[in-house]
């Protein structure tokens, strides 16, 4: 009987670990997708004014809620181009992201995903 209980505990622990790994992988995939969308949003706005973009490197962060709406958008890096920082903030605030997969916020107990990434643009390329 004790052997059966021990085996059951090992099986349950293994299943829990597998589910946690699946949730982690799903969260990573979502974060990569959201970062790509954010970079595309920045690029789409900055290329409208190539005369203002020479060499820009921006570090940004924001949170995405369960519905895919961005919150707490911040430009973390110091840029010598205030127009670019303001444009980036507006572009990220207006971007729309896919809804957070239910498995992610069920596994982590939160309905917000934190994103922090870099964006580099060089108009001379």
- The answer to whether the beta carbons of residues 63 and 113 sit under 8 Å apart is yes
* Domain ranges (residues) in the chain: 2-122
Nearest in space to 68 (alpha carbons), one of 90, 43, 92: 92
Q: Which residue has the higher pLDDT, 117 or 79?
A: 117
Task: Give the other-Cβ count within 10 Å of 46's Cβ.
Answer: 22
Rounded Cα distance, 79 and 58, in Å:
7
120 vs 62, which has greater pLDDT?
62
Mean pLDDT (whole number) for 39-48: 90
Q: What are phi and psi of 66, to 5 degrees?
A: -60, -30
Sequence-ordered list of residues with C-beta below 8 angstroms from that of 66, at least 6 positions apart, any chain: 99, 100, 105, 111, 112
CATH of 2-122, one of 3.30.1150.10, 1.10.10.10, 3.30.365.10, 3.40.109.10: 3.30.1150.10
- Span 6-41, pLDDT tens digits: 433 444 444 444 455 677 788 888 889 999 999 999
pLDDT tens per residue, range 59-91: 999 999 989 999 999 999 877 888 888 999 999
* Residue 21, pLDDT score: 66
Q: Which pTM was predicted? A: 0.77
Contact 46, 84 (CB under 8 A): yes
């Amino acid at each position: 009987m004790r052997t059966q209980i021990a085996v059951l505990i090992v099986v349950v622990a293994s299943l829990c670990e597998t589910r946690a790994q699946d949730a982690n992988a799903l969260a990573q995939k979502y974060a990569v997708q959201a970062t790509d969308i954010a970079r595309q949003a920045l690029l789409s706005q900055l290329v409208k004014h190539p005369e203002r973009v020479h060499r820009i490197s921006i570090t940004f962060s924001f949170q995405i809620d369960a519905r895919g709406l961005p919150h707490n958008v911040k430009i973390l890096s110091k840029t010598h181009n205030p127009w670019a920082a303001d444009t980036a903030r507006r572009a990220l605030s207006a971007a729309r992201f896919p809804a957070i997969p239910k498995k992610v916020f069920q596994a982590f107990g939160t309905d917000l995903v934190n994103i922090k990434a870099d964006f580099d643009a060089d108009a001379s390329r």
